[in-house]
């Protein structure tokens, strides 16, 4: 809703993401809500580019590179953080520290595994362990100590930021562990009849869609590791042979997703990770019907989300209004501690509000 005062959204995302975006529609939707949209250039001082009210970004690639010691990326992230700290009234979607929580798979699987409320609600994250060495004997012991069972999926520890973050290996036996590429996370494979459920979040709004996924796999001493990239198997238009169920699996009933369970997961992610723009992936265990959360993503594709831009702008507008309201009571988190208070200070971080 436009209150007559035009506000400005500064936006940054990678060229890869930018090329997929319908800019015309985004600009028009911004305008209809009373917002200008300015594309930011991170190689130039942000101060010179526009006075912005909202910083909307997908900086995962650059944060990941900076955290791995890339000097150019570190400089860019340093400038962005300095700029945001100089301008505490800018709504940041989403705060960089929250985004960082999703860059490391071990980190976010640990958050999910430690969530006590999941246990009696049929929600789990499959057992997992981290490999930091190629030593197969050491890795066998690590798996045993953490209850990780074959078959496993071996995933790069860094979850975002490059093509290689999505290069996966299914491993069926101890011998196959030599195919793992540390640093990586190995996760127990959950048979789910090749159906993936993607949940896209915009603040409180969500949209669930079905995608193809991997067929059922069983531990075997004979099978060689299978290498695949997520994009080949799990995008809406993927047609991989890895998604075709074997004949003996076909009789299994298709399990349907329980939306109450999804809402529980959303509430937990909002509390623990606090991103407005995120997505998570669920597979349903074909033996128990339990819902396994196997991945969480920052600012995902929103592929098939109806009226995505409209919802995005409504969400942004809610955040901006809440920040501007003098007596806004917000729940927010500082260094892991949840606080409830009046939103008059810099601590009212966008993306942390829990409804
Ligand atoms: N524990 C698991 N059990 C069964 N299948 C799994 C498991 N983990 C991952 N998969 C399969 O591998 C795919 C890729 O895994 P994951 O979602 O972790 O990778 P990603 O590259 O981060 O994906 P995205 O592109 O969605 O971010 C899943 O969509 C699913 O088909
Ligand atoms: O199918 P989805 O929306 O889950 O695909 C996402 C993917 O999960 C990752 O979030 C990608 O981000 P990066 O790992 O940072 O590359 C997304 O790519 P993007 O170009 O849209 O940011 C995929 O869309
Ligand atoms: Mg992912």
ipTM score for this prediction? 0.97
- Going by pLDDT thresholds of 50, 70 and 90, the confidence category of residue 349 is very low
**Which residues approach ligand 1 with their CB closer than 6 A?**
126, 153, 155, 159, 166, 168, 187, 189-190, 192, 196, 213-214, 230, 233-234, 281, 283, 294-295, 297
CB 78 within 8 A of CB 115: no
Closest C-alpha to ligand 1, atom 23: 230
Find the residues whose C-beta lies inside 6 A of ligand 2.
16-17, 58, 60, 160-161, 165, 198, 279, 297, 300-301, 303
Q: What is the 3-state secondary structure (H, E, C) of 244-300?
A: CCCHHHCCCCCCCCCHHHHHHHHHHHHHHCCCCEEEEEEEECCCCCCEEEEEEEECC
Is 324 a known ligand-binding residue? no
What global pTM score does this model have?
0.91
Q: What is the pLDDT of residues 169-208, one digit of tens each?
A: 999 999 999 999 999 999 999 999 999 999 999 999 999 9
Q: Which of 113, 156, 168, 172 to mutate to test the pocket of ligand 1 (most atoms within 8 A of CB)?
A: 168
Ligand nearest to the CA of 161: 2
All domains of the chain, ordered by start, with CATH? 7-93 (3.40.50.11370), 105-302 (3.30.470.20)
Look at residue 251 in the predicted model and tell me its pLDDT: 61
Nearest alpha-carbon partner for 301 in 29, 18, 78 = 18
List, for residues 125-161, the tens digit of each pLDDT value: 999 999 999 999 999 999 999 999 999 999 999 999 8
- Is residue 239 exposed (0-12), middle (13-18) or buried (19+ Cβ within 10 Å)? exposed
250 or 29, higher pLDDT: 29
């Amino acid at each position: 809703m436009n209150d007559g005062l035009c506000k400005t959204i500064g936006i940054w995302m990678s060229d890869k993401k930018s090329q997929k975006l319908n800019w015309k529609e985004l600009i028009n939707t911004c305008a209809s809500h009373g917002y200008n949209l300015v594309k930011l250039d991170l190689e130039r001082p942000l101060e010179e580019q526009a006075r912005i009210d909202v910083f909307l970004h997908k900086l995962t690639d650059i944060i990941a590179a900076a955290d791995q010691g890339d000097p150019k990326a570190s400089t860019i992230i340093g400038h962005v953080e300095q700029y945001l700290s100089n301008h505490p009234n800018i709504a940041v979607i989403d705060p960089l520290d929250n985004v960082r929580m999703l860059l490391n798979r071990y980190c976010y699987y640990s958050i999910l595994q430690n969530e006590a409320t999941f246990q009696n609600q049929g929600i789990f994250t499959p057992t997992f362990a981290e490999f930091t060495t190629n030593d197969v004997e050491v890795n066998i012991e690590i798996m045993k100590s953490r209850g990780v069972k074959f078959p496993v999926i071996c995933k790069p520890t860094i979850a975002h930021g490059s093509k290689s973050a999505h290069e996966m290996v299914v491993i069926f036996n101890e011998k196959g562990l030599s195919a793992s590429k540390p640093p990586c996370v190995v996760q127990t494979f959950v048979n789910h009849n090749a159906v993936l459920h993607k949940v896209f979040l915009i603040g409180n709004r969500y949209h669930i869609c079905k995608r193809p996924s991997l067929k059922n796999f069983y531990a075997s001493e004979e099978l060689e590791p299978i290498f695949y990239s997520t994009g080949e198997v799990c995008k809406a238009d993927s047609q991989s042979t890895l998604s075709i169920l074997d004949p003996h699996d076909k009789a299994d009933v298709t399990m349907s997703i329980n939306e109450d369970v999804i809402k529980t997961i959303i509430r937990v992610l909002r509390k623990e990770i606090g991103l407005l723009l995120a997505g998570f992936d669920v597979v349903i265990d074909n033996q128990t019907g339990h819902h396994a959360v196997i991945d969480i993503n920052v600012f995902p594709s929103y592929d098939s989300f109806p009226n995505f831009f409209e919802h995005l702008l409504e969400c942004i507008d809610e955040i901006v209004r809440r920040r501007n309201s003098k007596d806004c009571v917000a729940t927010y988190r500082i260094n892991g501690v949840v606080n409830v208070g009046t939103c008059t200070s810099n601590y009212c971080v966008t993306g942390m509000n829990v409804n």
